Amino acid sequence: MAHENILVVEDDEDIQILIRHNLVKDGFNVTAVASGEDALKKLRTEMFDCILLDIMLPGIDGLEVCKMAKKNPKIQNIPIIMLTAKGEETDIVAGLELGAEDYIVKPFSPRVLIARMRTVLRRKNRGNHDSTEVISINNLEIDTGRHSVTFNGVRLDLTHMEFQVLHLLAGQPGYVFTRNMVIESVRDDNYPVTDRSVDVVIVGLRRKLGDAGSMIETVRGVGYKFTEQE
């Protein structure tokens, strides 16, 4: 049974009660507040494993709370899932670029919310990838220990940056990475990484992956994600 401590920041009382009820039923410890100010107070005095953060809040909004949390070394590693009623690309992009790990658009199913939260918590608990990790998805195998990629048993000739980007995306299937997130993950002091160079790497990856290339999807206005296909 789960015992993680979850901070729910939601000013809509009905939604807050719904989230709290379902999380408690699943075994989570829940603290709920209705404003950004109260959320920051809680974060200064208590420890949490994940934050469910509404964007539209009275006073300090969710984006500002996210920004402040990610700048604080003591709490910056707490994963944040943004909740938004608008579902606009600008809100989603802003939240992800500020460091939020995921987002979910209202109205949502409590089961979907909990599933997404569990995925984020697994990533957090897993921490850094093991140096000998092997990712296998639909005949695509990424071996970090050998720094090699094979598809249908055939080894692919990838550049260092192509390998880094593929490992990043395939390591978290379904998760949407903004271009800035990709840049930060593969940044090299000896080689400038730009939005354009990320796009070029993606094009090259899709070409070299052949039939598996379609698993790298473009999320318009946001970035890229890796999708497991049958």
CA angle 2, 55, 112 (to 5 degrees): 40
Written as six digits, the tokens of 60 are 């300090």
pLDDT tens-place string over residues 104-156 = 888 889 998 998 898 888 777 665 444 557 888 888 999 887 888 999 999 99
Question: Do 190 and 218 belong to one domain?
Answer: yes
Q: What is the pLDDT of residue 129?
A: 46
DSSP for 33-77, written as a single string: ESSHHHHHHHHHHS--SEEEEESS-SSS-HHHHHHHHHH-TTTTT
Q: From the CA atom positions of the chain, what is the Rg in Å?
A: 19
Which residue carries 């809040």 as its tokens?
57
Contact 37, 45 (CB under 8 A): no
Question: Do 122 and 177 belong to one domain?
Answer: no
**What CATH number does the domain containing 83 carry?**
3.40.50.2300
Contact 48, 55 (CB under 8 A): no
Q: Which of 56, 91, 126 is the last residue of a domain?
A: 126
Total domain count, the chain: 2
CB contact burial 48-71 (16+ within 10 A = b; e otherwise):
bbbbbbbbbbeebbbbebbbbbbe
Question: Do 198 and 222 belong to one domain?
Answer: yes
Question: Do 62 and 147 belong to one domain?
Answer: no
Question: Do 146 and 73 belong to one domain?
Answer: no
Task: Give me the sheet containing 216-219, strands edge to edge.
Answer: 177-178, 223-226, 216-219
Q: Please give the residue range of the domain that contains residue 55.
A: 5-126
Closest residue by Cα to residue 145 from 119, 167, 120? 167
Question: Do 31 and 67 belong to one domain?
Answer: yes
Q: Rounded to whole angstroms, how far apart are CA atoms 103 and 53?
A: 9
Which residue carries 């990043």 as its tokens?
168
Question: Do 117 and 141 belong to one domain?
Answer: no
Question: Do 98 and 150 belong to one domain?
Answer: no
**What CATH number does the domain containing 192 carry?**
1.10.10.10
pLDDT in tens, the chain (230 residues): 457 899 999 999 999 999 999 999 999 999 999 999 999 999 988 889 999 999 999 999 999 999 999 888 888 889 999 998 766 678 878 888 888 888 888 888 999 899 889 888 877 766 544 455 788 888 899 988 788 899 999 999 888 888 989 998 998 888 888 888 888 777 654 456 777 888 889 999 999 999 999 999 999 888 999 997 65
Which residue carries 């598996």 as its tokens?
212
Half-sphere exposure of 207 (CA within 13 A, CB side): 10
CA angle 52, 72, 91 (to 5 degrees): 45
What does residue 46 show for φ and ψ, rounded to 5 degrees? -130, 160
Q: Maximum distance among all alpha carbons in the chain?
A: 56
Q: What is the pLDDT of residue 191?
A: 54
**pTM of structure:** 0.58
Q: What is the pLDDT of residue 35?
A: 97
